Amino acid sequence: MARKSLSLFCAACMLAVTVPGMAASQYHPEVAAHRGASGYMPEHTLEAKSLAYAMGVDYIEQDVVMTRDKKLMVMHDVFLDTTTDVARRFPDRKRKDGRYYACDFTADEIRSLRVSERFNPKTGKAIFPGRFPLNTTIEYRVPFLEEEFQQVQGLNKSTGHNIGVYVEVKEPDFFAKQGLPILEATIDMLTRYGYNSPDSRAILQIFDYDAVRKARELGWKGPLAMLVEADGQGQKDDAAVHGWLQTDEGLKELARYATIYAPDFALLAVPSQDGKSYTRSDLGDRARKAGMKLHTWTFRVDSMPKGFKTTKDVMDFCFKDLKLDGIFSDFPDVVVNYLKENHLR
């Protein structure tokens, strides 16, 4: 009887898993660590990426810039003066606009800089005062893209997990005008590390529509995300293109190349003029109708989007209303924990 009871129990367990309506949710949104666990440690350092990995994210982000000697390094800006001590170390190397550009420095020079929490180069004050201390003696450095790939793949091997990389080519048109083939070099490195396939756990993301199309011409076979915001890029006047990419015509054309539509969160939850409420746009629905997945950026617990009062409000909107496929966060553990609590992970 005991053996028969055990068999019946096992059968019941299998039935509970397979009966329609009783199965576990098939909706499993993915979490990308924005510049690593940047809400807790200086952004885009290997240390911030290690912390993000330990938080159980799906992807870790790499923003890629190119140096004067054509090396790929991981930084969010084309400038060096928002996260490093370049102004102190190389005071005479700024351009006429007063900024220090990564493309004007060699990799060794950038490697010699100390990375800190993000700050305003005009005032010297931290952008997020409540985060990691701005002035420490810790010698954080700017990593090479290759190092990041090695770290993620090394951790995947040692832990048995399969965390992916989410690589953004920064301002490809700007770098191309400096004679630096950043898009080609990034795709080449992704390929050399085994990432150039649809199921390789790598996503390539770009703000430049022309570069998105070119990425396919250069042989990129993996998931491809089009980043969209109202003002377009910083170094290229393409706000009109980003506006077009929010139209049905633009979405249909984009879907020929991109597999992921990744707009600024404010384009999905449009804030009211007083910032106290928001309107849900249909942009995400139309992007999905065009055949693309929907990702967005960037969730920060210390900089709530306008129209929302609590973290839970934002998360509920993202995953219960919008049904996002993926989200970027400076605080990826907060998103991971929410998804676990709501049985979405």
Catalytic site positions? 34, 76
CB 238 within 8 Å of CB 171: no
- Compute the distance between CA of residue 115 and CA of residue 84 in angstroms, rounded to an integer: 4
Backbone conformation region of residue 21, classed left if phi is above 0, alpha if psi is from -120 to 50, else beta: left
Helix (H, G, I), strand (E, B) or coil at 63: strand
Residue type (1 letter), 284: G
3-state secondary structure 123-188: CCCECCCCCCCCCCCCCECCCEHHHHHHHHHHHHHHHCCCCEEEEEECCHHHHHHCCCCHHHHHHH
CB 151 within 8 Å of CB 49: yes
